[in-house]
Structure 1
Amino acid sequence: MTGPRICIFGAGAVGSHVAARLLRAGIPGVAVVARGPHLAAMRERGLTFRSSREEFRVAVPVATDDPSILPPQDIVVVTLKAPALPPAAGALARLLAPDGVAVFLLNGIPWWWNYGLREGGGPLPLLDPDAALWRQVGPARALGGVVMSPNEIVEPGVVIHGAHSRFTIGEPDGGDSPRARGLVELFTAAGMPALLSTDIRTDIWLKLLVNAPGNPLAALTRLSAKDRAADPELAELGRRIAGEVADTARALGYDLTQHVDADDTMRWAATRSETRPSMLQDVLHGRATEIECLLGQVQAFARERSVPTPVIDIVLPILRGLDRSLRR
């Protein structure tokens, strides 16, 4: 085998998209970690990718629900959602080769956020409660990722892709490293347009302008982006949440108005009428949600800097209650 060993860890919607593209491009050494009926379907008949532009099926030669059987991996593309990460810390740590790298394609604030910041602070209790990720995986082996790519598993072994994709990858310290650049080149070569960021935290905040209003309100109302945008009260609620996210980011030194207008961002999000946000998918399937990385940590940052977040302060407890009911 030539080339690096690459593992897609957590082949849900985004992970299945990435796996399908890498396998179709003939990238050697790709393994997939998944579970349940989706894993069984991939083993039996491969992985099917559908979009408005194309449809194809690829064989998945190495697919398992037990990462311990895999050899050490040079690149681990982690597409688990934030609530599932801390329990997986040990498996991820064992899977990574000594000089391997894990790129975390996550929504919201990532567990490694404080790494490399002058003010330090260590792990974030809401996202890494026992510091398992910080201690076992280690933020020095992590790359940040921002995904603009709506995907959904519509049946076992089948992922649909709803629009154009963009993957942004960057070092937590803002450097231009060979490992980050190599991942950008790998994704782009496989048909997944990718950008190298030297300011990945700003990119994370910019996506939060869309995710922080869109995912929670979709989960609570079960309405599409188009339907929410057509409701003046829901649209205003979304704008207020986005405004509180922008205020919190500014207090931490990230002025998002230099990059994008929040109202324009909300209007852009409203055009994504055919996609179901990941939190809505989780609620419909009875899964735990990403509420802490999308709103909980934003509120925590805001309180540290005395930034008022009156709408988040109301919506967040309701979502936490919904999440508790799903976890039961």
Structure 2
Amino acid sequence: MKICVFGAGAIGGLMAAKLAAQREKGGDAEVTVIARGPHLAAMQAKGLVLRSEGQEITVPVRAVASAAEAGPQDYVVVTLKAHSLPGAAQQMQPLLGPETAIVSAVNGIPWWYFHQLAGPWQGRIVESVDPGGVVSRLLPPERAIGCIVYPAAEVPEPGVIEHSYGDRFTLGEPDGSRSARVNALSEALIAAGFKAPVRPRIRDEMWVKLWGNMAFNPISALTTATLDVLIADDGQRGIARAMMLEGQAVAEKLGIRFAIDVDKRIAGGAEVGAHKTSMLQDLERGRPMEIDALLGSVVELAELVDVPVPSSRTVLALVRARGRAAGCY
């Protein structure tokens, strides 16, 4: 089984390190990572270092700079941020053989969202994440396997992954089937030490994660508050809750079933503690923010199903302006 991690940053690096470690013990997953700059150089020179659960291991990985060097794969795990995908899709083409699956470990609404989703919008393009359908043309949705990412990790220095919490990657086919390819991937990830359940309704779980991200991320970018401060503040929590209820109304119009209520989801965010959201981290580091994947897409879908989302529209306009002013959007 050939698995390539395209964009082996923190999450991709975590997955690659554990799969490579399992390979050393006799596992059948042959791992390749595509990276660049000092991170690539460090992995090529000394392997990939993983710090997790109080332990540090170094594992050899095949690290290359381009898809052409990697060649065709059985699975391509995409851990890029959504706004990078239109530009990266062309670069990924040498990885794609006739049966290659693309594991979409990307936050927010994915480009394949309406693929094989029964109903009036089946096959529709989500412009916020797939402008003009460029991603769908280059990475056909029938290749996609959904993947919801729960671990938290960072790259404190080149070639090093520091894993702080979480070990679950929920998987699911867009059509809800339990295919041979998704089962095989689940088994490989479980063997590597992850939880990797296969869900028939992957979009339900996708929305539960997006539910918090669509509100907490942009609000934190506007106020610079960590998650604990944001949720403890009545004003910020109130705006977040209003946005989340709007998102729930949109999702339910699309057939989503929420297993928990909004207040339980907010409480779950509070348990994370003094955490800087990814959008706030990107703003502080001058990097492009995931505004469209996490919130712009929700507003786009609200228009599709004719649900008013005034709080979300307001925050979207403000965070886009904040991003433009900082050169991050």
TM-score, normalised relative to structure 2: 0.92
Partner residue, 2:285: 285
Question: Quick check: 2:128–2:296 contact (8 Å CA) kept in 1?
Answer: yes
1:9 is the counterpart of 2:11: no
- In 2 relative to 1, CA 243–123 (structure 1 residues): closer, same or farther, beyond 3 Å? same
Residue 218 of structure 1: how far off its partner (Å): 2.5
Partner residue, 1:162: 164
Q: What is the count of residue pairs matched by the alignment?
A: 322
- In 2 relative to 1, CA 127–95 (structure 1 residues): closer, same or farther, beyond 3 Å? same
C-alpha distance in 2, partners of 1:276/1:11? 21
- In 2 relative to 1, CA 265–327 (structure 1 residues): closer, same or farther, beyond 3 Å? closer
Partner amino acid for 2:35? Answer: A
- In 2 relative to 1, CA 277–55 (structure 1 residues): closer, same or farther, beyond 3 Å? farther
Deviations 1:267-299 (A, max 9, x none): 111111254322222222211111111111111
C-alpha distance in 2, partners of 1:41/1:7? 18
1:191 to 189, 193, 199: 193
C-alpha distance in 1, partners of 2:281/2:40? 18
- In 2 relative to 1, CA 240–6 (structure 1 residues): closer, same or farther, beyond 3 Å? same
C-alpha distance in 2, partners of 1:284/1:225? 15
Q: CA RMSD in A?
A: 1.7
C-alpha distance in 2, partners of 1:243/1:75? 36
C-alpha distance in 2, partners of 1:30/1:17? 12
Partner residue, 1:326: 327
Partner residue, 1:172: 174
**Pairwise mapping of residues 14-53 of structure 1 onto structure 2 (< 5 A)?**
14-26=11-23, 27=27, 28-51=29-52, 53=53
1:138 to 126, 129, 140: 140
SS at match of 2:131: coil
Residue 125 of structure 1: how far off its partner (Å): 1.6
Residue 203 of structure 1: how far off its partner (Å): 1.2
1:69 is the counterpart of 2:84: no
Question: Quick check: 1:42–1:59 contact (8 Å CA) kept in 2?
Answer: no
SS at match of 1:124: coil
C-alpha distance in 2, partners of 1:149/1:159? 12
Question: Quick check: 2:48–2:61 contact (8 Å CA) kept in 1?
Answer: no
Partner residue, 1:80: 80
Partner amino acid for 2:194? Answer: M
Residue 175 of structure 1: how far off its partner (Å): 0.8
Deviations 1:152-179 (A, max 9, x none): 2222222222222221110001111111
Partner amino acid for 1:311? Answer: S
What residue ranges of structure 1 are gaps of 5+ in the alignment?
none
Question: Quick check: 1:180–1:196 contact (8 Å CA) kept in 2?
Answer: yes
Question: Quick check: 1:10–1:34 contact (8 Å CA) kept in 2?
Answer: yes
What residue ranges of structure 2 are gaps of 5+ in the alignment?
none
Percent sequence identity over matched residues? 39
Question: Quick check: 1:17–1:151 contact (8 Å CA) kept in 2?
Answer: yes
Question: Quick check: 2:228–2:275 contact (8 Å CA) kept in 1?
Answer: no
Partner residue, 1:209: 211
- In 2 relative to 1, CA 277–151 (structure 1 residues): closer, same or farther, beyond 3 Å? farther
- In 2 relative to 1, CA 162–223 (structure 1 residues): closer, same or farther, beyond 3 Å? farther
Residue 121 of structure 1: how far off its partner (Å): 4.1
Question: Quick check: 1:150–1:277 contact (8 Å CA) kept in 2?
Answer: no
1:249 is the counterpart of 2:251: yes
Question: Quick check: 1:150–1:275 contact (8 Å CA) kept in 2?
Answer: no
- In 2 relative to 1, CA 327–208 (structure 1 residues): closer, same or farther, beyond 3 Å? closer
Residue 22 of structure 1: how far off its partner (Å): 0.9
Partner amino acid for 2:43? Answer: M
Question: Quick check: 2:20–2:61 contact (8 Å CA) kept in 1?
Answer: no
Residue 209 of structure 1: how far off its partner (Å): 1.5
- In 2 relative to 1, CA 98–272 (structure 1 residues): closer, same or farther, beyond 3 Å? same
C-alpha distance in 1, partners of 2:102/2:229? 37
Residue 39 of structure 1: how far off its partner (Å): 1.8
C-alpha distance in 1, partners of 2:17/2:108? 24
Deviations 1:87-115 (A, max 9, x none): 11122232122111111101110001111
Partner amino acid for 1:130? Answer: G
Partner residue, 1:300: 300
Partner residue, 1:129: 131
TM-score, normalised relative to structure 1: 0.93
C-alpha distance in 2, partners of 1:218/1:41? 33
Residue 13 of structure 1: how far off its partner (Å): 1.6
C-alpha distance in 1, partners of 2:161/2:327? 24
Partner amino acid for 2:251? Answer: A
Partner amino acid for 1:135? Answer: R
Residue 202 of structure 1: how far off its partner (Å): 1.0
C-alpha distance in 2, partners of 1:157/1:285? 20
